[in-house]
Amino acid sequence: MPCVLPRRSHVFALVLVAVLFLGLADHALAAESSAKEAPAKSASGMYLSIRDGYIGPDTFPSVVEGLRHLRIDAMELNLGRDFSVQALDSKEKVFLKTDQDATDYRQTARKLGVNICSVLTACDFSAGDMESNIAWVARAIEIADLLSASSVRIDSAMSKEKQLDFETRVKIFVEGLGGALERTSGSKVTLGIENHGFQGNNLAFLLNTFQQVGSDRLGSTLDVGNFYWRGYPLSEVYGILTVLAPYAKHTHMKNIHYPEDKREITREAGWEYGKYCCPLDEGDVDLAKVIAILAKTGYKGDICIEDESVGKCRTPEERIAVLDRDIAHLRKILQNVR
């Protein structure tokens, strides 16, 4: 005998079916819209990221809102010596002092759709005692592991770098980074020394450190603008980057637009940088050429925005406009990389 619903029940069932249908339709449309807005990834495996400081409280209400506006999901997280980091969904600072703190932060990141691809640190190996410096870097590696980050950025600058001879500076770095890598031998997290400041923008210093440590986990945070900042002629910058690219574990993208008569001469380190640093699409360094150099080495990591010209902007709106341009420029380059 067929089941016959009472009229009221029949109407209710129809309404229920309609609501379910509309809900599924809305979900499908939302998914389709999200797919359309998702940033394209390069066929090379490289992807866009940004330092958290550029999407912090001075520019966006929160880090996650900044990432969503820029339509990227990856970022480099600045880890303070006191283990402080920027909260993802507020203007507050939080602390990653315990494993549970870091695990909770990672879980929040995943819920918000944020990929912490690298952890930024600063450790002056010429200051303090070596044991505490090694312990600090080792702990930063452990925190990066807990955050599912693939790399830790190492600052190459030292306060005594101009007082110490070359061999001593290399020895200090080899002891410090070698010790941290040994203590975290079970980790896959890599260390990328940034070519930063006077010492770090010396290819001999970087290569000697890599070779003497002798670990596949040690390489470069390749800053594509800093050798130009250091004073090398533009054509030499590409040659240096070509030598260093096979060691890349992480990157920083910045640019400088010097007067034409200053581009192919040796300049004083940092000459008029504040005046001539610029958005990524305006500078002398051909980022498409640099990213192609990285692609040839098989690099598949992040292309991380560190546009210091943003600091010259007076308002959040101006900063956001520059970041939008940076993203558009890099996205176009990555779409053409194979």
What is the per-residue pLDDT across 193-230, written as a single tens digit (0 to 9) for each? 999 998 899 999 999 999 999 999 999 999 999 999 99
Averaged pLDDT for residues 52-76: 97
What share of the chain has pLDDT > 90, as a percent? 85
Cβ burial of 138 (10 Å; 0-12, 13-18, 19+) is middle
Report the chain's terminal Cα–Cα distance, integer Å: 66
Higher pLDDT, 5 or 240: 240
Angle ∠(174,155,160) on CA atoms, nearest 5: 70
Going by pLDDT thresholds of 50, 70 and 90, the confidence category of residue 34 is very low
Average pLDDT, the chain: 90
**Per-residue confidence (pLDDT) for residue 32, from 0 to 100:** 36
Homologous superfamily of 40-335 in CATH?
Divalent-metal-dependent TIM barrel enzymes (3.20.20.150)
Going by pLDDT thresholds of 50, 70 and 90, the confidence category of residue 44 is confident
User: Contact, 195 vs 223, CB < 8 A?
Assistant: yes
Digit-coded pLDDT (tens) for 317-336 = 999 999 999 999 999 999 99
Flag whether the pTM goes above 0.85: yes
